[in-house]
Amino acid sequence: MQTILNLLPIITFFICYKTYDIFIASKFLIFTSGLTCILHYIIYKKIDKINLISFILIGILGSLTIFFHNSQFIKWKITIIYMFFSIILFISQFYERKPIIQKFLEKNIKLSNICWKKINFFWALFFLFCSILNIYIAFYFSEETWVHFKVFGLSILMLFSIVITSIYMHYQALKKK
């Protein structure tokens, strides 16, 4: 259920973009992001911080897109979020005793600290790469290409990275046994 809620804004954005334009899609993105936060609160009795940050950014950048009738604003949203993730992961990599990914997953998965650091560093680089790639595609390709990249390209990259990480974690867990 949580995955469906998290996908609702991007699916709505894509459908509205294909049916109308980026400005109508931005309006629906703002609405469905807010709705997602409300539904998370109703169902789970809490609002996920990532969803809340995303909603705030979508609200600001989406409103600027609509107000100035300029799609460049909404294109920065994913770059800002991914850059934020990258910075947080890099900070935890070098200034915390345990990388942030280890803090989230160590209850379920037992790996060495070096493995956790490698995974954390991989994801920090991944988010940095995706944020830079988004900027490049947003400003050097057509709007339609960017929308397809945002919806499908980034999703495929994320899925690929999850698979790579899972294989690495599984291999390390087997090696440990």
Do both 66 and 127 map to the same domain? no
Do both 81 and 167 map to the same domain? yes
- Show which of 43, 70, 97 is a domain's final residue: 70
Residue 120 belongs to domain spanning: 76-177
Do both 55 and 114 map to the same domain? no
The Cα 87–Cα 127 span in angstroms is 9
- Show which of 10, 45, 70 is a domain's final residue: 70
pLDDT band per the 50, 70, 90 thresholds, residue 49: confident
pLDDT band per the 50, 70, 90 thresholds, residue 21: very high
Q: Nearest to residue 127, comparing CAs of 58, 168, 79?
A: 79
Do both 90 and 149 map to the same domain? yes
- Show which of 53, 70, 87 is a domain's final residue: 70
What pLDDT, in 10s, does the model give residues 50-100? 889 999 999 999 999 999 999 999 999 999 999 999 999 999 999 998 999
Q: Nearest to residue 76, comparing CAs of 90, 92, 60, 89?
A: 60
With a cut of 90, say whether residue 3 has pLDDT above it: no
Do both 97 and 161 map to the same domain? yes
With a cut of 80, say whether residue 177 has pLDDT above it: no
Do both 83 and 165 map to the same domain? yes
Do both 167 and 109 map to the same domain? yes
pLDDT at 150: 96
Do both 80 and 155 map to the same domain? yes
Number of domains the chain is built from: 2
CA 173 to chain centre: 27
State how far the alpha carbon of 122 is from the alpha carbons of 163, 164, 166, 168, 172, in Å. Answer: 13, 10, 12, 11, 15
What pLDDT, in 10s, does the model give residues 111-121? 999 999 999 99
